């Protein structure tokens, strides 16, 4: 009995010592140009053609490295120079399909061609975006920590920023990118579009480094007119009040004070009519012509004291007129 347990223990130890590629292979390296490595279980290994890849592998390239991968479910990925990608793939038991096919593109340029796995199994993540695959071929450009851009070549892709704003497109050569403000949009003009193709999409510029399974007949994207008209399928799920821009990641923000027109200044008041000189000798009793300080109110026709004079103040101030009575009251109230 003790010998049987010893044999089982020995078999278990042998299986545990086998490379992960033997027990959990998810694909293989079709081609590895110089300057390509994989970090597996904390150990750095130089990639070679025909090598198995496993879930958890982190593949990196230098400025001259290019890696082309073929997965069990027929998914294909090309990793360009100065790039890094982490594989997290779980295969269905006994089937050549993935239960979960997640990759993290941490930086650099890539080409992704989906395989036989279900659409919902795929998840392509970058530091600033997530791409959902809909039977698709597309290229990616990731500037670490700043921006992610995708260029659709075949099929349809949905791109969402970390803030939840999404755009979907199936138009060939259509380019979307995240902005620093968390939006997803198109290049601001043709110049920015062409600059992005030149700097971030080497497999669009030339496919000579790619094997035929990863080459795509798309006729080139240099003639794409930008900005493109937005179709119904391109309308973002969550709209932003600010205009959306890509590659040039600045998003124009206009304050409320800048958008509202200033209120017009009120017209200047007309200057008051000059006051007549008081007649000290003949207007001591506060008559109704408004000139005596006891009942002065300006040139309004002699209203007397505006606060307490009761006379209408339209007379000339004779001894028995209403104007005299009003101004007398005003004088008494001083």
Reported as a single tens digit per residue, the pLDDT across 86-133 is 999 998 887 889 999 999 999 999 999 999 999 999 999 999 999 998
Whole-model pTM: value is: 0.62
Most confident of 40-44, 251-255, 275-279, 295-299: 40-44
Of 113-122, 228-237, 293-302, the range with the lowest mean pLDDT is: 228-237
Q: Where are the beta strands (DSSP E) in the chain?
A: 25-32, 36-40, 43-46, 52-54, 58-61, 67-71, 76-79, 84-91, 98-113, 122-125, 129-143, 147-161, 166-169, 175-178, 184-185
304-325 burial, b if ≥16 CB within 10 A, otherwise e?
A: bbeeebebebebebeeebbbbb
- Write out pLDDT tens, residues 190-202: 899 999 999 999 9
Closest CA to 63 of 77, 45, 84, 49: 84
Q: 71 vs 228, which has greater pLDDT?
A: 71
User: Is residue 64 classed exposed, middle or buried when 0-12, 13-18 and 19+ CB atoms within 10 A define those classes?
Assistant: exposed
pLDDT tier, 250 (very low <50, low <70, confident <90, very high otherwise):
very low
Query: In the predicted model, is pLDDT for residue 244 greater than 80?
Result: no
Query: In the predicted model, is pLDDT for residue 313 greater than 90?
Result: no
CB 154 within 8 A of CB 114: no
- The tokens describing 248, both together, are 């040039």
- The tokens describing 158, both together, are 């949905």
Query: In the predicted model, is pLDDT for residue 238 greater than 80?
Result: no
Cα separation, 70 vs 210, in Å, equals 12
Q: What is the mean pLDDT of residues 125-142?
A: 92
Query: In the predicted model, is pLDDT for residue 189 greater than 60?
Result: yes
- What are residue 169's phi and psi, to 5 degrees? -155, 150
pLDDT tier, 70 (very low <50, low <70, confident <90, very high otherwise):
very high
Query: In the predicted model, is pLDDT for residue 227 greater than 50?
Result: no
When the pLDDT of each residue in the chain is averaged and rounded to a whole number, the result is 73
pLDDT tier, 170 (very low <50, low <70, confident <90, very high otherwise):
confident
Q: What is the mean pLDDT of residues 247-264?
A: 37
> What is the pLDDT, as a whole number, of residue 321?
43
Proportion of the chain above pLDDT 70, given as a percent: 59
Pairing, β 36-40 against β 43-46? antiparallel
Domains of the chain: 25-211 (2.60.120.1440)
What number of residues does the chain have?
A: 334
- What are residue 160's phi and psi, to 5 degrees? -125, 135
CB 326 within 8 A of CB 313: yes
């Amino acid at each position: 009995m003790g010998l049987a347990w010893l044999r089982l223990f020995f078999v278990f130890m042998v299986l545990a010592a086998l490379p992960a590629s033997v027990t959990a292979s998810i694909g293989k390296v079709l081609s590895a140009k110089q300057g390509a490595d994989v970090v597996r279980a904390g150990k750095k290994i130089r990639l070679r053609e025909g090598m198995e890849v496993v879930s958890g592998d982190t593949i990196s390239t230098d400025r001259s490295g290019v890696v082309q991968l073929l997965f069990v479910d027929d998914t294909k990925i090309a990793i360009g120079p100065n790039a890094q990608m982490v594989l997290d793939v779980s295969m269905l038991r006994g089937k050549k399909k993935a239960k979960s096919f997640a990759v993290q593109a941490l930086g650099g340029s890539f080409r992704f061609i989906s395989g036989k796995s279900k659409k919902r199994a795929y998840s392509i993540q970058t530091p600033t975006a997530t791409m959902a695959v809909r039977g698709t071929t597309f290229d990616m450009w990731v500037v670490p920590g700043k921006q992610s851009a995708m260029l659709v070549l075949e099929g349809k892709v949905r791109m969402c920023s970390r803030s939840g704003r999404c755009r979907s497109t199936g138009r060939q050569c259509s380019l979307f990118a995240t902005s620093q403000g968390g939006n997803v949009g198109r290049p601001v003009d043709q110049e920015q579009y062409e600059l992005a193709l030149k700097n971030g999409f080497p497999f669009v510029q030339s496919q000579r480094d790619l094997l035929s399974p990863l080459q795509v007949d798309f006729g080139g994207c240099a003639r794409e007119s930008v900005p493109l008209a937005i179709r119904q399928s391109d309308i973002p799920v969550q709209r932003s009040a600010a205009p959306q821009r890509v590659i040039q990641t600045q998003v124009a923000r206009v304050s409320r004070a800048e958008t509202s027109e200033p209120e017009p200044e009120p017209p200047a008041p007309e200057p008051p009519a000059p006051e007549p000189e008081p007649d000290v000798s003949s207007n001591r009793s506060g008559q109704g012509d408004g000139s005596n300080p006891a009942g002065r109110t300006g040139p309004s026709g002699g209203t007397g004291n505006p606060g307490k004079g009761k006379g209408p103040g339209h007379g000339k101030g004779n001894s028995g007129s209403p104007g005299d009575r009003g101004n007398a009251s005003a004088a008494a109230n001083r």
